Every structure is written in C-alpha cells, then in structure tokens.
C-alpha cells in the first residue's frame, strides 16, 4: 500500500467545531518530510494556548496529535524532543482502512 502522510492544524471555530487550517496542509509520501512539517507546526506560536491541534496521519490513520492548550506531560501534548510516530501500530486491525473508506463513501453520498 502506498504511504500518504498528512500534517495539518485543526482550529476551533465557533458554531462550527474543529476545522482544518488549509494554509498548514502538507501531503507527502516521505516520513522525513512529514516529521519536519509536524515539528514545524508544533513550534508555531500562533495557536499556543488556543483550542487548536496539530495532526499527523498516515493513510487516514491518526498517528500523532498535539493540542496547543494541553499541559506538558498530558496525553495530548507532544514536545519537539518527543519521539514522533511515523508507522501504524503492528496490532492494527487490517480491515480498519477498508471500514474507514466505507464510512467516507457514505458521508460523501449523504452530502450530495
């Protein structure tokens, strides 16, 4: 299966919820480029303390999540010196992606 990493910031928008900031969107097959993009977004000051998060995913599976309003040491805090996960867990259900794609198709048909 071809690897597609996505890195982006989601920010909270009143009356909408979490929304992707498309100016931060990176899509790459390279784990090194994905890591660099994730670390770059982690270090941005624009969102510190706000309801926003950095997401790193591989083939639609979320690998890493950092919330800008999380405290260091908490579950959703990733420091720049922390290990950045770039592979899916070995124990992941092999049918997970198939299920995820079917959910996406249903959502797309519902939005037509």
Q: What is the pLDDT of residues 63-104, one digit of tens each?
A: 999 999 999 999 999 988 899 989 887 776 666 556 666 665
How do residues 4-26 score in pLDDT, each as one tens digit?
999 999 999 888 888 999 999 99
How many whole angstroms separate alpha carbon 60 and alpha carbon 54? 14
Strand-pairing partners, residue 62, are 57
**Domains in the chain: how many in total?**
1
- Tell me if 63 is assigned to some domain: yes
- Tell me if 78 is assigned to some domain: yes
Residue 4: strand, helix, or coil: coil
Domain that holds residue 18: 5-87
- Tell me if 110 is assigned to some domain: no
Q: Please choose, from the candidates 52, 10, 2, the residue with its C-alpha nearest in 3D space to the C-alpha of residue 28.
A: 2
Residue 8: strand, helix, or coil: strand
Q: Please choose, from the candidates 61, 60, 47, the residue with its C-alpha nearest in 3D space to the C-alpha of residue 10.
A: 47
The more confident residue out of 60 and 35 is 35
- Tell me if 50 is assigned to some domain: yes
| Backbone φ and ψ of 40, nearest 5° | -60, -45
Would you state the structure tokens that stand for residue 67, as one six-digit string?
């919330």
């Amino acid at each position: 299966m071809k690897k597609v990493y996505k890195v982006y910031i989601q920010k909270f928008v009143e009356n909408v919820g979490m929304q992707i900031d498309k100016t931060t969107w990176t899509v790459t097959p390279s784990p090194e480029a994905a890591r660099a993009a994730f670390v770059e977004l982690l270090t941005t000051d624009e969102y510190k303390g706000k309801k926003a998060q950095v997401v790193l995913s591989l083939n639609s599976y979320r690998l890493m999540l950092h919330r800008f309003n999380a405290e260091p040491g908490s579950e959703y805090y990733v420091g720049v010196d922390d290990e950045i996960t770039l592979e899916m867990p070995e124990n992941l259900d092999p049918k997970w992606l198939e299920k995820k794609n079917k959910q996406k198709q249903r959502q797309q048909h519902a939005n037509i």
